[in-house]
Chains A and B, each alone.
Chain A
Amino acid sequence: MIEIRGIQKNFGKLEVLKGFDFSLSVGKITAILGPNGSGKTTFIKSILGLVIPSAGEIQFEEKSIYKGWNYRKHIGYLPQIARFPENLKVKEIFKLIEDVRGEVGNTEELIDLFDLHEFLNKRLRQLSGGTRQKVNLVLTFMFDCPIYILDEPTSGLDPIALIRLKDLIKEKKSQGKTFLVTTHIMSLVEEIADELIFLLEGQVYFKGTFGEMLWAEKEENLERAIANILEKENAKDS
């Protein structure tokens, strides 16, 4: 579905992605892990065409993504930071994205799920960070897409919203949807992810299942396994 070959990205002298291959497993939830600055967001943004790679090729259904923008209608994207035009109302932002896509989304169901009814007529600048994130989630899931790309989906969510989000992801997965998720919350990864890729300094350090990662690092939980990898790298550097 999404094939990436030799992707490289430099920002000036800084090499953020150092040329690796990746293919997204259909119908699975893939978590992208890595320390801050390892290139997770740049990688995701490259797939969406927000960042233009310095070298390499990204294909969606065997077609280069640079030959058109239409492929993006198959992707639901949740940006890391939820900020919207301040003076628009919540219901207007939903309408805006529906207008832009030219599709009617299933907003009602999602508004119920995240308890957003009382906020529909509020302006976006009046919302708290958590509520803005819920609006962000509705915008991501309102269309039926085969792929969802989520950048830090849990930020600012309360426990109830978090549980509902996890259930929503599991439900979509059972319908055969594919997910690519970045997060720093290891418990979320352990609960939902089928596959992991661990990015380190712009390279794929590890790709496999959760169990394989624990086995490779001889640890009992993911947090420790990752700490292990980072400590090894630090020792190598010094």
Chain B
Amino acid sequence: MLKILKYSFFDLIRSRWSIIYFLFYLVSGFVLLYLSNDVSKAIVSLMNITFILTPLIGTIFGVMNFYNSREFIELLLAQPIPRKNIFLGMLLGICSSLSLSLFLGMGLPFVFYGILISGKIMSLVILLLSGVFLTCIFTAISFYIALINENRLRGFGMAILFWLFMAFIYDGIFLLLMLFLQEYPIEKFAIAMSLLNPIDLSRIMIMLKLDISALMGYTGAVFSKFFGNNVGMFISITALSIWTIIPSILILRNSSRKDF
């Protein structure tokens, strides 16, 4: 698995798109930090970009990489290695190369700004961590969608729709439901709804860390009230891990009996 991971990583990290992705974060990081001159504000602004962009890029890379590697997968499947090593290696290769672009692109501006001595390093760590989670979750889900759809156009469409739903439509529905149900106690319902969307979960995680109550929103406040900041953080990380593991298991299960 590590061998496949290594080559998949090197293949992707050299692609033009990985470099553009890295440069985008690098430029946004520098601009936002030096314009606002405030680490917390820059983190919140970067968070808003990251939580839309990381899942989108993960989705596109996951689908494209699978479809582009179709013939190469056949060659690998004919080699004396188990199937699960091939698919896990490829998936981890995409996740690690995208995560590296994110890490360096977003990390470097903060290091230059002096985050290491500012005492706010943990906020950046949480932002990067949630970015990595979102990358892995959306890459794995789109990889799975590509795996079960022979038709490339349909696979691509479904993956983009899933991203659109999680990034925008879900919050709209959530808000409407809360509006309709405002006369009932809906704390538990709100928590459940947040756990079911990794993007919302990541947002809550950062808000809990930054502890800016004005930006926390209803769900953030509920999380904070119900669990306290530390337990809330732990629950968010656990839920994000489950979100990463489930599509990976689905990929392994489906690929073991698929015809190529």
Contact = CB atoms under 8 A, between A and B. Distances in A.
Interface of A: 11, 45, 48-52, 69-73, 75, 77, 79, 81-88, 92, 96-97, 99-101, 123, 139
Contact of A85 (B3, B69, B81, B83): B69
B98 to A, nearest CB: 14
Given A69-B83, A72-B79, A97-B75, 9 more contacts: A45-B74, A45-B260, A72-B80, A77-B75, A84-B72, A85-B69, A86-B68, A99-B3, A101-B80
A49 to B, nearest CB: 7
B259 A96 contact: no
Contact of A70 (B8, B70, B80): B80
Nearest to A100: B79
A69 B75 contact: no
A84 B79 CA distance: 15
B4 interface: yes
B131 to A, nearest CB: 23
Nearest to A123: B14
A72 B77 CA distance: 9
Contacts of A86: 11, 15, 68
A83 B80 CA distance: 20
A50 B10 contact: no
13 contacts: A11-B259, A50-B259, A69-B83, A72-B79, A73-B80, A77-B78, A82-B71, A83-B70, A83-B71, A83-B72, A85-B8, A87-B12, A99-B3
Interface residues of B, number: 27
Interface of B: 3-4, 7-8, 10-12, 14-15, 68-72, 74-83, 257, 259-260
A11 to B, nearest CB: 7
A81 B79 contact: no
Contact of A139 (B11, B75, B81): B75
B152 to A, nearest CB: 14
B76 A100 contact: yes
B76 A79 contact: no
Q: What's the dominant secondary structure at chain A's contact region?
A: mixed
A96 B80 contact: no
Contact of B78 (A75, A81, A84): A75
A123 B75 CA distance: 18
B257 A72 contact: no
Top 10 A-B pairs ranked by shortest CB distance?
A85-B11, A73-B80, A77-B78, A83-B71, A87-B14, A72-B80, A51-B259, A50-B260, A99-B3, A81-B71
A92 B7 contact: yes
A148 B10 CA distance: 30
Contacts of A84: 71-72, 75
